[in-house]
Structure 1
Amino acid sequence: MTDTTQRIAMVTGASKGIGLGIARVLAAKGYKVAVVARHIQAAEQAVAAIVAEGGEAMAINADVTDRASLKAAVERVKAAYGGLDVLCANAGIFPSADLETMTEADWDLVLNTNLKGMFNTVQAAIPALKESAAGRIVVTSSITGPVTGFPGWSHYGASKAGQLGFVRTAAIEMAKYGVTVNAVMPGNIITEGLEGMGDGYLSQMAASIPLKRLGRVEDIGEAAAFFASIEAAYITGQTLVVDGGQILPESLEAVG
């Protein structure tokens, strides 16, 4: 792969979970990484972990529902590192709420964070990405919504399916600038949030996956790094499912 030590990336929701996994993988490959999170202390802790591993990173406090804070974040990255090449729009939430009892506030919270937040993030970064010789946008979607469903996540599934519709049209619009737009679709990945669902859920999900394990955040990081790479210049508007084969079996009997 092309040397990436001069490449600059910004990852939202990067203080933990998949976002931190993406940030760590990119940093390990030589990217200068801006770790963006709502809580600056958590972002600073993530940066400390990256630096301890030999990477270069900076912490930025921003909220994807706050457009002004995102614009300010991009300007901070440009001031510190000289530009922006890769945006990983990863920030997202997945609170559970049954459809029958879900409130309008429940719905709005998830859609405003996951879908509108992604739009806010991408739009804030466009001017800087247009200046890059190889601009890349990588969205963290999910198999839940676009491919599968899970009780309590109708709002989450809608947000993640909506992201893919956005990616396809955004890819067309950004093509004239040489900026690609793609999405990674994780299956069940071991994160702080997933661990909170209990050992029973984790065991059940692992049993239904052909590779017989849940994914690691690094698995998603490597997929995002591929889309971010110079070599992926002719790939845009596409999605990559990273789920250990979870969506393939018709039933548990097919897994064996």
Structure 2
Amino acid sequence: MFDLSDHVALVTGGNGGLGLAMAKGLVKAGASVAIWGRNSEKNENALAALKDMGGDVEAFQCDVTDPEDIKATFDSTLKRFGKVDSCFANAGGSGSTAMLHQLSGSDWSSVVDLNLTSVVDTYKAVIPHFLERKSGGKLVVTSSAAALLGTPLHAGYSTTKAAVTGLTRALAVELGRAGIQANAILPGYIETEMSRETSQAFRDACKRRSCSGEFGTLEDMEGIAVYLASQKSNFMTGQTLVLDGGQTIHPG
């Protein structure tokens, strides 16, 4: 039902964490995958791991905060694979930890550039390709449960993650008649190298709020990525799919 043979997926920030987890799920379903990342060493490690799974994959070094780099890397991706069927705009970061009034202008700009503007610029590279091919397409952004919850000391992160859900709804309407779906994944606390750097108090609170009393795992990202890339999700668009084990509904 979810066979992705002859499907090409692009995953930004695909060299680690949630992005690599989604790439693994896509490879398992038969997709060819292009991963973009800034760190060349992480790119090579991720590429080796995906190739060990038998995937037709390629890693591209790309800084998604640079629109010219995005354009050039997308051209290289098309040259390698010939097309792109789904785009997972996953690259992002938590930004500076501080109260809003303590954030410098550069702190604020950097998190907006990474979590919001990079998504816009990536989509601006991909959408014309989708429209030209006239075969539809899938736009998927990694938002966060922080878009729904109040997250102290991370106003920039929460704001940008909420913003991409608005972008998702706008693009769903704008592009729907072209057969293009746009959706957002809102993960709760999932164990990654980056999430382990958060405070123990925050980690404990997330575990309490989880209905199962457990954290999410990277493997939890695989299935939702495959579903949203597949033709079986063609009637789902403009949606924010919360993947949090109930953390946003549990009072803790």
TM range (shorter): over 0.9
CA distance in 2, matches of 1:76, 1:41: 19
Name which of 138, 141, 146 aligns with 1:139: 141
CA distance in 1, matches of 2:215, 2:224: 16
Aligned to 1:209: 210
- Deviation of residue 204 (structure 1)? 3.4
Aligned to 1:62: 62
Query: TM-score w.r.t. structure 2 length?
Result: 0.94
Deviations 1:198-223 (A, max 9, x none): 54543332122111111112212321
Preserved CA contact (<8 Å) 1:188 1:215? yes
Q: Which contiguous aligned blocks of 4+ residues in structure 1 show a shift greater than 6 angstroms?
A: none
Preserved CA contact (<8 Å) 2:138 2:182? yes
Name structure 2 gaps, 5 residues minimum: none
Structure 1 residues 2 and 245: CA distance shift in structure 2, 3 A: closer
Aligned to 2:78: 78
Residue 114, structure 1, aligned to residue 103, structure 2 = no
Deviations 1:76-114 (A, max 9, x none): 221111100000000101032222311111110000110
Preserved CA contact (<8 Å) 1:134 1:233? no
Residue 6, structure 1, aligned to residue 6, structure 2 = yes
Aligned to 1:172: 173
Preserved CA contact (<8 Å) 1:33 1:56? yes
Aligned to 1:233: 234
Identical aligned residues as a percent: 34
- Deviation of residue 132 (structure 1)? 5.8
Residue 94, structure 1, aligned to residue 97, structure 2 = no
Secondary structure, aligned partner of 1:181? strand
Q: How does 1:3-42 map to 2 (within 5 A)?
A: 3-42=3-42
CA distance in 2, matches of 1:51, 1:199: 35
Per mean C-alpha deviation after superposition, the further-off stretch among 104-113 and 223-232 is 223-232
Aligned to 1:124: 125
- Deviation of residue 52 (structure 1)? 1.0
CA distance in 1, matches of 2:222, 2:67: 25
Q: Which amino acid aligns with 2:76?
A: R
Q: Which amino acid aligns with 2:225?
A: A
Secondary structure, aligned partner of 2:210? coil
CA distance in 2, matches of 1:51, 1:132: 30
Preserved CA contact (<8 Å) 2:209 2:246? no
Preserved CA contact (<8 Å) 2:3 2:230? no
CA distance in 1, matches of 2:75, 2:34: 11
Name structure 1 gaps, 5 residues minimum: none
CA distance in 2, matches of 1:198, 1:119: 31
Aligned to 1:43: 43
Structure 1 residues 201 and 158: CA distance shift in structure 2, 3 A: closer
Residue 247, structure 1, aligned to residue 248, structure 2 = yes
Deviations 1:180-232 (A, max 9, x none): 10101110011111111254543332122111111112212321221111111
- Deviation of residue 176 (structure 1)? 2.4
Per mean C-alpha deviation after superposition, the further-off stretch among 1-10 and 202-211 is 202-211
Q: Which amino acid aligns with 1:28?
A: K
Preserved CA contact (<8 Å) 2:2 2:29? no
CA distance in 1, matches of 2:50, 2:200: 29
Deviations 1:165-191 (A, max 9, x none): 111111111112211101011100111
Preserved CA contact (<8 Å) 2:209 2:248? no
Preserved CA contact (<8 Å) 2:134 2:178? no
CA distance in 1, matches of 2:196, 2:54: 28
- Deviation of residue 121 (structure 1)? 0.6
Q: Which amino acid aligns with 2:78?
A: K
